[in-house]
Amino acid sequence: MPEDTTASRLRLAGLCFLLQIFTIILFAVFVRYSPESSPGACSQQLNCSWKKQDLGSQHPRSRDVHLQVLLGFGLLVAFLGRYGLGSVAISILIVAFAIQWAVLIQGFLYFFLNGKIYVGAESMVSADFCTASVLISTGAVLGRVNPVQMLLLTLLGVTLFSINEYILLGLMEISDSGGSLTVHTFGAYFGLMVSRILHRPHVGKRKEPQDTGQQADVFSVVGTIYLWIFWPSFTSATTVRNDAEPWVVLNTYFSLAASTLATFVLLPVLYEESTLRMVQIQDATLAGVAVMGMAGEMLVTPFGALIAGFLAGLIPPLGFRFLTPVLRSRLKTQDTCGVHNVHGLPGLLGTLLGTLLGALATADAYGGRLELVFPLVAQGSRTAATQALWQLWALPVTLLLASLGGCLTGAVLNMKGLRSPPDTSDPENTVLREAAEEGCDRRASRKEPSTSTLV
Amino acid sequence: MPEDTTASRLRLAGLCFLLQIFTIILFAVFVRYSPESSPGACSQQLNCSWKKQDLGSQHPRSRDVHLQVLLGFGLLVAFLGRYGLGSVAISILIVAFAIQWAVLIQGFLYFFLNGKIYVGAESMVSADFCTASVLISTGAVLGRVNPVQMLLLTLLGVTLFSINEYILLGLMEISDSGGSLTVHTFGAYFGLMVSRILHRPHVGKRKEPQDTGQQADVFSVVGTIYLWIFWPSFTSATTVRNDAEPWVVLNTYFSLAASTLATFVLLPVLYEESTLRMVQIQDATLAGVAVMGMAGEMLVTPFGALIAGFLAGLIPPLGFRFLTPVLRSRLKTQDTCGVHNVHGLPGLLGTLLGTLLGALATADAYGGRLELVFPLVAQGSRTAATQALWQLWALPVTLLLASLGGCLTGAVLNMKGLRSPPDTSDPENTVLREAAEEGCDRRASRKEPSTSTLV
Amino acid sequence: MPEDTTASRLRLAGLCFLLQIFTIILFAVFVRYSPESSPGACSQQLNCSWKKQDLGSQHPRSRDVHLQVLLGFGLLVAFLGRYGLGSVAISILIVAFAIQWAVLIQGFLYFFLNGKIYVGAESMVSADFCTASVLISTGAVLGRVNPVQMLLLTLLGVTLFSINEYILLGLMEISDSGGSLTVHTFGAYFGLMVSRILHRPHVGKRKEPQDTGQQADVFSVVGTIYLWIFWPSFTSATTVRNDAEPWVVLNTYFSLAASTLATFVLLPVLYEESTLRMVQIQDATLAGVAVMGMAGEMLVTPFGALIAGFLAGLIPPLGFRFLTPVLRSRLKTQDTCGVHNVHGLPGLLGTLLGTLLGALATADAYGGRLELVFPLVAQGSRTAATQALWQLWALPVTLLLASLGGCLTGAVLNMKGLRSPPDTSDPENTVLREAAEEGCDRRASRKEPSTSTLV
């Protein structure tokens, strides 16, 4: 039905227009530049109240953040790379809207003063983290929602992510600079819960995924290399002081190296065909960074980072082989891009590791760094054990919020007006839907290792 | 005629050789490293006389510029990305020659002292800007000139760009740090005028553009992401002081986000087929940065940046739909890559915006930043209104120079010896020409939206 | 024989597992974070004893190195790009293992104190250089070794590279900040010698290389652009003081520009078909950076950099046309990716240039920079001529070590258990081997320019 296609196109255009106008109005009312003042004064009032203070060398601070903004988008590359060419247009739409919305929502939570939101480079960094989490969530439902639903998912996902992050970092004051918990775990389980709610039986019998071939692999290569280049610096920029050895950079590199080797250990054992697809190596890379999100800036030690990375690298192959089929058939949760294996479980592992290291933290081992990683422990208002308990408590809080939020979001997306009518889902109105659809199916094909040799 | 092919190949080789030898000789005679001295002394004599001085924190200056050089080439990526695989080899040739030539020409204008040109990191940044402008110009004529003509276009384009930039920044002392006027507007109209002069009736009846398919889209994706990552920092590096909030970074990001949404608003309305090609999103991104070139470092406010970006994002779809066909049929100006819609008009809009903001500039609103953005206003030798008038005056000056220069350049390229003989343009000697030709035709196909669904 | 395939797959998995466990144990015993101390104290004890001291502005040091780590991987991109999609998985495996192993080996040589290796950002940079060299070596044998052999090549190559580098930089105290000699020359001749030892007559009669088409060219484009963007900063980061003009950045850019033009001069003359493949331009780019490895930080002058780059850019086309066939037929050394033309000879040229410039170095011309480039000359313990002699002596030392090491490594890889059995090399167990094989054959096809027009 061509009219239907037209209607769906115009609905997307209209929603984009409305959201943009709405955002512009909110920006006009609330958002101002962060005041032009000495860094010291700025930090007293606003942003630095919820972040670790920078002792000693404060002046190159804004340079750091400046770089961070630059690198933040580097990480988006990695995600875009994962989803293939078809879904990139939608991904960029999500990024463009999520950044604006995250600046608003996080501004209300963190940077609100005298009725105004004061945005600076730090706002953009927070918005980047938030956008990354939403992109992870979309990985679970890619191919089964239309762009209008995607935008609503982004709207709600950004809001819920920000609330969860505020509870964890602002109220519970846990340490999670690289987002094992806030970004990876939240993003994965939120997306999975939305996917569960959106489950419709007949959708599973869709046509066989087409072979997206080398095109997808090009993106995997570019994405993998971007992760290697940018992520260690990205996670470090919030935490590294100028004159300290960058533990988090070293830890992340070691973790990446070990997780890659782990993939080469496990894949030949698990699968018959003796070739590796780049996307599997990218999975290992993502798992390797997810596990270092929380523990990276702690005293994980070089060999500890290798071990953690190795374990994290084992998760995706095992998960795709044994867990994803169960998830799909028993729990009726389709996971298009396998975010559970790549972000969810490694994020959980990273959280447990961070908790363990929190419990072991002593002023002797950390030195001046303790002030940065665990400010409350350094000030004496918490013992290391208490801090570790809080870190552990953050896990069920995140899972609860992700699940409840996912249910709510799924229910909204399931509303009648938004769903693409099932009967027309085949040939006519699928062009824009296809765009999102061809993304991750190549991953789905890995669930059945019997599908013959992937050339 | 194979001999003809051989002749054309050898002509290219010979021209490259001559130009390189010529450049080496000029370098040997004139070019020296910038003297090894304290930044203060250096700025008195040479470069800093025409650039805004860096008050207060001068020492991280060379780091900034160092980074800038790095990022300058990031922007080239974006342009390369636009033109598709076939034209990349020629683009890199243009870049390689334009940088050397720009160092010389701009050296004579800016860094000339005691008969020597003193090159430093700043020279490379200026050369980058210049190269970007020439790449924009080539976008208008891609596919209708051979590599020899391209090199001559580069030779003349670099020279004219540098003269125009010197008049605007050095003599009229306007503020255009990101190049809305000097880079985007000049590049677009210079290229369009060359294209007009080169117009030959029968060329329009060329074969239908082949479908370049996904290959081109890969470059669009990479180019779009590079723009998001690198451009904000690129435009900011010349202007941001160390301890100030980077307005230009924030403004550019907001503009990028809004222009992307604008494309999603307009394209479904304008075109029947319900899919988006990545190249259209890249157009929006380019328009979003072009509009922030001049205004980015001014007090455009966050919501102002959103509005400007939104308007800029509307230009390319409207332009390709309504303006390009008129341009081609009535004005006999073919615009292979649509640089008028993507660089020319957004650059004009950015210039008008910059003029408006210049008129509104007050010492209260800008604080210490006024010294950086409008040094003459801060020193009291101009009022804000006078500065705005100068900014506005720069527009016709640029358009005039671009048009006259384009006529001249077109006339040179039209000389008999340089043109590829029209009768052999079909099968034999086209291999090297094809290389440049297959670049942007996919864009040309958008001019007729009736060309069915672009899968 | 499918069992054979299974055995070869499991052998790879087992070797990866063993190496990873072994590395983890060594890390646990030896590797610690670099002590948390003032930069001054750190430099007395450990790393700064073998590197040029940073006089004057010491505090942004760790930032520099931090960036360097980031950029180090940028250079890997370039190499990955060269080898095509098929070999990327193996390349990433090599990178992942080589980094861990290089941290250990170089740690024992440079950062060993009281029985512990103290790793910091600088260790990662050294490991990057080492990995780059090993990737160059693999380029010579790609397609004729299986992954297990690749891992052993990496194990031995890293060890030998580190020993050679230690002799050159630590004992002979020559200046080679960008690795003309240590990275490019060593990597190329080590790989070539391994290739010579692995030569088996019947392998030469392999099937014709398939046309890898545009996919490979996409990587060439991305790789070329990365080299332009990242390499100049990469080589500069170790040497540039904060307040000095970055000679090495300027030199490398000029060299890159001139070598690109040189390729456009020579290729139309040498080859019949009038099109350029991107991979040929990338060769020019690589040669242009290899020649500036040693001389880049010296007083090469702008026009000297242009001349050196131009000469370096002439080497790859000439080498592929005249030298590679001789190498293959007479010297029985197959060079899959042409590393001799792209890294070996330009590296030699760069070494000779560095020697010449070392002999000409005077305190007048270099100023305070002499302390950085030639610390022994600045301190008066060596004359410039003596330093130049040492620089020249380093060349035969490197060639000797590369040859002997290559023989040894080749002999190890030739052991019976490791070789893929020759009879099964055709259809069955080739899947993982193919992965590495399809990499560089497109280059091999250039050896016979008569193979018709490369579209």
How do residues B205-254 score in pLDDT, each as one tens digit?
444 344 445 556 667 777 777 777 667 766 665 555 545 557 888 888 88
- CA nearest to B366 within chain A: A36
Chains B and C: how many Cβ contacts under 8 Å?
155
- B230/A24 Cβ within 8 A: no
Rounded Cα distance, B432 and C264, in Å:
12
Instruction: Tally the residues of chain A.
Output: 455
Mean pLDDT of A111-138: 83
| Residue B118, strand partner residues | B32
Backbone angles phi, psi at B31, to 5 degrees: -90, 130
Among B31, B99, B431, whose Cβ lies nearest the Cβ of C274?
B431
Lowest mean pLDDT among A266-280, A409-423, B199-213: B199-213
> Which residues of chain C neighbour A225 with C-beta distances below 8 Å?
73, 76-77, 80
Among A221, A269, A453, whose Cβ lies nearest the Cβ of C88?
A221
**Are the beta carbons of A15 and A147 closer than 8 angstroms?**
no
Cβ density class B156-170: b for 16+ within 10 Å, e for less: bbbbbbbebbbbbbe
Q: Which of residues 96-115 of B touch C (CB under 8 A)?
A: 96-97, 99-100, 103
Residue C240 lies in a domain: yes
Residue C321 lies in a domain: yes
- Least Cα separation, residue C285 to chain B (angstroms): 11
Mean pLDDT of A262-277: 77
Chains that touch A (3 or more CB pairs under 8 A): B, C
**Are the beta carbons of A30 and A114 closer than 8 angstroms?**
no
Q: Which of residues 264-293 of B touch A (CB under 8 A)?
A: 264-269, 273-278, 281
Q: Which of B54, B68, B88 to mutate to test the interface with C (most CBs of C within 10 A)?
A: B88
Q: Please work out, in degrees rounded to the nearest 5, the angle formed at the alpha carbon of residue A77 by the alpha carbons of A72 and A81.
A: 155
Higher pLDDT, C70 or B412: B412
pLDDT in the model for residue A310: 94
Lowest mean pLDDT among A432-441, B200-209, C370-379, C413-422: A432-441
> Which residues of chain B neighbour A97 with C-beta distances below 8 Å?
257, 261
| Residue B113, strand partner residues | B116
- C266/B66 Cβ within 8 A: no
pLDDT in the model for residue C53: 34
- Least Cα separation, residue A175 to chain B (angstroms): 26
**What strands, in cross-sheet order, belong to the sheet with B116-119?**
B31-33, B116-119, B112-113
pLDDT in the model for residue B455: 23
pLDDT in the model for residue B217: 66
Dihedral sign for Cα atoms in the order B246, B247, B250, B256:
negative
Quote the DSSP letter at residue A209: P
Q: What range defines the domain where residue C63 resides?
A: 56-204+213-421
Number of domains in chain B: 1
> Which residues of chain B neighbour C229 with C-beta distances below 8 Å?
70, 73-74, 77
- Least Cα separation, residue A385 to chain C (angstroms): 24
pLDDT band of A194, cuts 50, 70, 90: very high
> Which residues of chain B neighbour C268 with C-beta distances below 8 Å?
9-10, 12-13
Among C236, C246, C302, whose Cβ lies nearest the Cβ of B27?
C302
Q: In the structure encoding, which two tokens stand for residue A203, read together?
A: 């959708």
C48/A contact by beta carbon, under 8 A: no
- C245/B121 Cβ within 8 A: yes
- Least Cα separation, residue C89 to chain A (angstroms): 6
In which element (H, E) is residue B119 found?
strand B116-119
Rounded Cα distance, B152 and A321, in Å:
59
- B258/A33 Cβ within 8 A: no
Residue A119 lies in a domain: yes
What percent of chain C shows pLDDT beyond 90?
25
Q: What is the pLDDT of residues A415-431, one digit of tens each?
A: 877 766 443 333 333 33
Supply the ipTM of this predicted assembly: 0.81
Q: CA dist A108 to A20, A30, B245, Å?
A: 18, 9, 19
pLDDT at A228 over 60: yes
Residue B363 lies in a domain: yes
- CA nearest to B233 within chain A: A70
- CA nearest to A217 within chain B: B218
Residue C191 lies in a domain: yes
Q: Which of residues 364-423 of B touch A (CB under 8 A)?
A: 367-369
pLDDT at C77 over 90: no
Mean pLDDT of B67-74: 48
pLDDT in the model for residue B398: 95
pLDDT in the model for residue A444: 40
- Least Cα separation, residue C439 to chain B (angstroms): 19
- A244/C69 Cβ within 8 A: no
Chains A and B: how many Cβ contacts under 8 Å?
155
Q: Which of B29, B34, B62, B66 to mutate to test the interface with C (most CBs of C within 10 A)?
A: B66
Q: Which of residues 425-454 of C touch B (CB under 8 A)?
A: 453
Q: CA dist C340 to B134, C160, C187, C312, C350, Å?
A: 36, 19, 9, 12, 14
Higher pLDDT, A48 or C198: C198
Q: What is the pLDDT of residues C185-205, one digit of tens each?
A: 999 999 999 999 988 765 544
- Least Cα separation, residue A269 to chain C (angstroms): 6
- A17/B274 Cβ within 8 A: no
> Residue A147: which of A157, A160, A138 has the closest Cα?
A138
What percent of chain A shows pLDDT beyond 70?
71
> Which residues of chain A neighbour B230 with C-beta distances below 8 Å?
70
> Which residues of chain B neighbour C59 with C-beta distances below 8 Å?
none
pLDDT in the model for residue C442: 42
Among A247, A278, A299, whose Cβ lies nearest the Cβ of C89?
A278
Residue A452 lies in a domain: no
In which element (H, E) is residue C116 found?
strand C116-119
Residue A38 lies in a domain: no
Q: CA dist C223 to B219, B446, C80, Å?
A: 13, 30, 8
- Least Cα separation, residue C216 to chain A (angstroms): 10
The pTM (predicted TM-score) of the whole model is 0.84
Collapsed DSSP state (helix, strand, coil) of residue B333: coil
- C278/B69 Cβ within 8 A: no
> Which residues of chain C neighbour A367 with C-beta distances below 8 Å?
36
Residue C120 lies in a domain: yes
C124/A contact by beta carbon, under 8 A: yes
Cβ density class C136-148: b for 16+ within 10 Å, e for less: bbbbbbbbbbbbb
Secondary structure of B359-419 as H, E, C letters: HHCCHHHHHHHHHHHCHHHHHCCCCHHHHHHHHHHHHHHHHHHHHHHHHHHHHHHCCCCCC
Mean pLDDT of A85-111: 85
- Least Cα separation, residue C191 to chain A (angstroms): 23
pLDDT in the model for residue A446: 39
**Are the beta carbons of A420 and A8 closer than 8 angstroms?**
yes
Q: Give the DSSP per-residue string, C65-105.
A: HHHHHHHHHHHHHHHHHHHTGGGHHHHHHHHHHHHHHHHHH
pLDDT in the model for residue C47: 38
- Least Cα separation, residue A446 to chain B (angstroms): 24
Mean pLDDT of B165-183: 88
> Which residues of chain B neighbour A124 with C-beta distances below 8 Å?
249-250, 253
Cβ density class B366-404: b for 16+ within 10 Å, e for less: beebbbbbbbebbeeebebeebbebbbebbebbbebbee
- Least Cα separation, residue A309 to chain C (angstroms): 11
Q: Which of A10, A31, A32, A92 to mutate to test the interface with B (most CBs of B within 10 A)?
A: A92
A9/B contact by beta carbon, under 8 A: yes
pLDDT at C448 over 70: no
The CATH number of whichever domain residue C135 belongs to comes to 1.10.3430.10
Rounded Cα distance, B345 and B324, in Å:
12
- B247/A77 Cβ within 8 A: no
- C85/A245 Cβ within 8 A: no
- C10/A306 Cβ within 8 A: no
